[in-house]
């Protein structure tokens, strides 16, 4: 085993990390949507992890084996295989410990994430049915938007199949934390790698709730600055969609964030302690059925939900605004599977 010493942190939701890691394990990871704007950089970053022995790349587009061939030439140990076409989905997933799903349409300017529901709901439903069949014990990270509805869709399909383990299914909200670290670091002249701000709630507009009062290191903002910083974090996805002017949404920062989340799952699977990430999961912390909170990760997914901690009045107001939106998004996802 090659061992690269890495810092461990007890902070809620860990900051930026190197993608090489401590110990090689027998671990298969599948990326579903691997040939897309997120899928390609995500897969490229995952190839660099010593925690992965097999990297399975699935997408409906024909050139997916080409993406796999390209990434396979990177000189890291993980074996890379490409799969395409509906008939190969189950083969790509079989035996996976971790499945990351960035499959589906991205936004164009003027669209909300919820506007993607009709295009993406059935993609997530079908992938969930395949996971239930061939990899029911996998830890699953769902990137596809609208995350707030896609996670309930995935869970409902698993439930129908009698395979639901809510500790293993995650809506990936890591990009919200990555952005919070970047923006707060920039505003306060701190190295953004060392800034750690939990983000709770969901992954769309007002449902994104940064807990700046719990930021480490502690930072002070005036009320006006705090409002501006919060709104910037909530609207950061739209900032990228507007800047890309019709060519899609965040792909590179999301590839990075998705890889960070996947590697955190793998580190926990590999027995590392104190692995903490925020993610959108099934729980009743806020009465919405699903809510993102800091989670302690372990070999079976969520080991402990660390809850939302003490909120400032400002943050409690944000949660109050998030709750109705989340309830609607969850109900829409559940209704789709019924
Ligand atoms: P993209 O269009 O560049 O790539 C999507 C890929 O999914 C394509 O290669 C496409 O062929 C593939 N695909 C479509 N249907 C599929 C299916 N049934 N099975 C497998 N693959 C399928 O889009 P993108 O920019 O990579 O974004 C993907 C999704 O991620 C979008 O829904 C976007 O809104 C979402 N997203 C989420 C976050 C987040 O923070 N959770 C951040 C950015 C983007
Ligand atoms: C993001 O936050 O960048 C993603 O959810 C993509 C989007 O549509 O904004």
Structure confidence by residue, pLDDT tens digits, 233-287: 999 999 999 999 999 999 999 999 999 999 999 999 999 999 999 999 999 999 9
**pLDDT interval class at 22 (50, 70, 90):** low
Mean pLDDT of 189-200: 98
Ligand 1 within 6 A of CB of 67: no
Q: Is the dihedral of CA 318, 205, 13, 195 positive or negative?
A: negative
Q: Are strands 28-32 and 98-101 parallel, antiparallel or unpaired?
A: parallel
Tell me if 129 is assigned to a ligand binding site.
Answer: no
Ligand located closest to 240 CA: 2
Q: What is the pTM of this model?
A: 0.95
pLDDT higher than threshold 70 for residue 24? no
Cβ(333)–Cβ(116) below 8 Å:
no
Give CA–CA dist 74/129, Å, rounded.
Answer: 32
Q: With beta carbons less than 8 A apart as the criterion, state whether 138 and 97 touch.
A: yes
Q: How many Å lie between the centroid of ligand 1 and the Cα of residue 94? A: 21
Across the range 160-184, mean pLDDT stands at 98
pLDDT of residue 10: 32
The CA distance from 230 to 196, in Å, is 15
Task: Say which range, 2-11, 73-82, 135-144, 329-338, has the weakest mean pLDDT.
Answer: 2-11
CA separation for the pair 260, 46 (Å, rounded)? 9
Tokens found for residue 13: 């939701």
**Does ipTM come in above 0.90?**
yes
Q: How far apart are CA 309 and CA 167, in angstroms?
A: 20
Distance CA 95, CA 53 (A): 12
Closest ligand to residue 278's CA: 1
Backbone angles phi, psi at 63, to 5 degrees: -85, 10
Q: CA 181, CA 79: separation in Å to the nearest integer?
A: 33
Peptide bond preceding 217 in cis form (omega within 30 of 0): yes
Please answer whether residues 82 and 47 qualify as being in contact, where contact means their C-beta atoms are separated by less than 8 angstroms.
Answer: no
For the packed helices 252-269 and 174-188, what is the interaxial angle rounded to 10 degrees?
110
> What's the 38 CA to ligand 2 centre distance in angstroms?
11
Enumerate the active-site residues: 203
Residue 235 CA to residue 207 CA, distance in Å, equals 11
User: Which ligand 2 atom sits closest to the C-alpha of 250?
Assistant: 3
């Amino acid at each position: 085993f090659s061992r690269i010493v890495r810092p461990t942190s007890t902070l809620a939701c860990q900051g930026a990390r190197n993608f090489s890691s401590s110990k090689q394990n027998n671990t298969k990871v599948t990326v579903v949507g691997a040939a897309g704007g997120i899928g390609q950089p995500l897969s490229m970053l995952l190839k660099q992890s010593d925690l992965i022995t097999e990297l399975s790349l699935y997408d409906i587009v024909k050139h997916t084996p080409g993406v796999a061939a390209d990434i396979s030439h990177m000189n890291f140990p993980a074996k890379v295989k490409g799969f395409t076409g509906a008939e190969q989905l189950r083969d790509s997933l079989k035996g996976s410990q971790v499945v990351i799903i960035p499959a589906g349409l991205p936004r164009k300017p003027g669209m909300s994430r919820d506007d993607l529901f009709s295009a993406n709901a059935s993609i997530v439903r079908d992938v969930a049915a395949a996971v239930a069949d061939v990899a029911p014990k996998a830890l699953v990270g769902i990137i596809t938007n609208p995350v707030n509805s896609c996670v309930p869709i995935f869970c409902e399909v698993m439930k129908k199949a009698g395979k639901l383990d809510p500790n293993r299914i995650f809506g990936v909200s890591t990009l919200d934390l990555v952005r919070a670290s970047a923006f707060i670091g920039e505003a306060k002249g701190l190295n953004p790698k060392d800034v750690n701000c939990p983000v709770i709630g969901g992954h769309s507009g007002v449902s994104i709730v940064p807990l700046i009062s719990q930021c480490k290191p502690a930072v002070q903002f005036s009320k006006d600055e705090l409002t501006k910083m919060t709104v910037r974090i909530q609207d950061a996805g739209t900032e990228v969609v507007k800047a890309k002017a019709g060519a899609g949404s965040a792909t590179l920062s999301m590839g990075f964030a998705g890889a960070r989340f996947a590697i955190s799952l793998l580190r926990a699977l590999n027995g590392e302690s104190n692995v903490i990430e925020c993610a959108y999961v099934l729980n009743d912390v806020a009465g919405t059925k699903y809510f993102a909170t800091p989670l302690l990760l372990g070999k079976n997914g969520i080991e402990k939900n660390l809850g939302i901690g003490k909120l400032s009045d400002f943050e409690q107001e944000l949660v109050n605004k998030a709750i109705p939106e989340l309830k609607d998004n969850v109900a829409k996802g559940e209704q789709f599977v019924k």
